[in-house]
Amino acid sequence: MKKLIVILLVMILTVSVFACGETLTQPITSTENAQTTTNSTAQPSPKPAATTKPTPTPTPVMGEIEFMLTFDANNFRTDISYSDIAREPSMYANEYVAFNGEVMQVMQGKSYTQIRLAVDGDFNNVIFCEYYPESETINVLEGDWVSINGECAGEFSYESVMGATITLPAIMVCRIVEYDNSVPLEYDHGPFTFTENTYSGMRVTEIESFEITRAAKAYSGSTSLSVEYKIIGTVKGYDYLSISVKCYDDEGFLLDTTSVFSSVSDGERFRISDNMYVPLETVRIEFAAD
């Protein structure tokens, strides 16, 4: 009897151990919680290596763009130049500005579009622009000439294909409109000479050549043209250049008179590149001594 009891006890213990072994070796089938519990006792895995993917630009508050869209053109400053925002980006942050230029590149994102804009067509003066669906824009393509209105946003840095870090002035844009950079103007290329009697003697201005390199609306909504020019010549008997610029419309009526003025050395040949503003309706420019 005792042997029988011992045999039964051994069989019961054997079955119990086998059953426990099956339970412990079952795979974990649940569960995020089970996985979390398992990992809690393991060594933390190393962080993945940093990638070069840029940090996405945060979407601005829609109200800011809607607020800017209530402005007329005069609310956006045209007296702030590219060199101003490139040299002192923090000083001009949050200023509302207007620029004209040629679109160098368009980069389409999921919730915003970015462009690189060559200010006044100068590929050495580039600003980085970003705009959003709520902005008022045209369908911008590379090579387009556009006017932009927006808010200075400091600087934007990115890595070029050659691995160099490039930093540009940045603008959050609310409005983009088409911009005409090729207004035809009739004018005298020279040479021509002006002789004047002054209180200190005779002044002779000899202009070898005069060239208008670009004429375009000064900015969106402007009533004047910005005219960029190059002039080569000599002034004798005086130490400054002063020439009247007469602006005529397509019917030959005089619209306005402005002037080209610059300090020069008496008798020394000069070369001047500058710009002036003339009425928007100007189609012909004539020159005369002041």
Question: Which tens digits make up the pLDDT trace of 216-269?
Answer: 887 767 788 989 888 999 999 989 898 899 999 999 999 999 989 899 999 999
Same domain, 194 and 147: no
Report the CATH number that the domain containing residue 249 is assigned in CATH.
Answer: 2.60.40
- Give 153-193 pLDDT, tens digit per residue: 999 998 888 888 989 999 999 999 988 777 788 998 889 89
Question: Given 153, 178, 203, which residue is the final one in a domain?
Answer: 178
Structure confidence at residue 54 as a pLDDT band (50, 70, 90): very low
Question: Given 178, 208, 237, which residue is the final one in a domain?
Answer: 178
Same domain, 67 and 93: yes
Average pLDDT for 202-226: 85
For residues 282 and 82, what is the distance between their CA atoms, to the nearest angstrom?
A: 27
Report the CATH number that the domain containing residue 169 is assigned in CATH.
Answer: 2.40.50.140
Which pLDDT score is estimated for 45?
43
Structure confidence at residue 5 as a pLDDT band (50, 70, 90): low
Same domain, 159 and 192: no
Contact 189, 164 (CB under 8 A): no
- Residue 84 is part of which domain span? 62-178
Sheet holding 224-236, edge to edge: 192-198, 201-217, 224-236, 269-279
Contact 90, 154 (CB under 8 A): yes
The residues, any chain, with a CB within 8 Å of residue 197's CB and separated by 6 or more, are 203
Same domain, 157 and 204: no
Read out DSSP for 63-132? HHHHHHTTS-GGGSBSS--HHHHHH-TTTTTT-EEEEEEEEEEEEE-SS-EEEEEEETT-TTSEEEEEE-
Number of structural domains in the chain: 2
Which pLDDT score is estimated for 197?
85
Which pLDDT score is estimated for 202?
87
Q: Would you say residue 253 lies in a domain?
A: yes
Contact 138, 115 (CB under 8 A): no
For residues 224 and 258, what is the distance between their CA atoms, to the nearest angstrom?
A: 12
Q: Is the pTM here over 0.85, yes or no?
A: no
Q: Would you say residue 205 lies in a domain?
A: yes
Q: Would you say residue 248 lies in a domain?
A: yes
Same domain, 77 and 172: yes
Percent of the chain at pLDDT exceeding 70: 78
Same domain, 76 and 119: yes
Q: Would you say residue 53 lies in a domain?
A: no
Same domain, 109 and 163: yes
Percent of the chain at pLDDT exceeding 90: 45
Contact 78, 218 (CB under 8 A): yes
Q: Is the dihedral of CA 275, 276, 282, 288 positive or negative?
A: negative
Same domain, 170 and 269: no
Q: Would you say residue 5 lies in a domain?
A: no
Give the pair of three-digit tokens for residue 94.
């949050």
Same domain, 66 and 174: yes
Stronger pLDDT, 50 or 27, i.e. the higher one: 50
Same domain, 192 and 139: no
Structure confidence at residue 198 as a pLDDT band (50, 70, 90): confident
Structure confidence at residue 51 as a pLDDT band (50, 70, 90): very low
Is the predicted pLDDT of residue 215 greater than 60, yes or no?
yes
Which pLDDT score is estimated for 17?
40
Q: Would you say residue 52 lies in a domain?
A: no
Same domain, 172 and 203: no
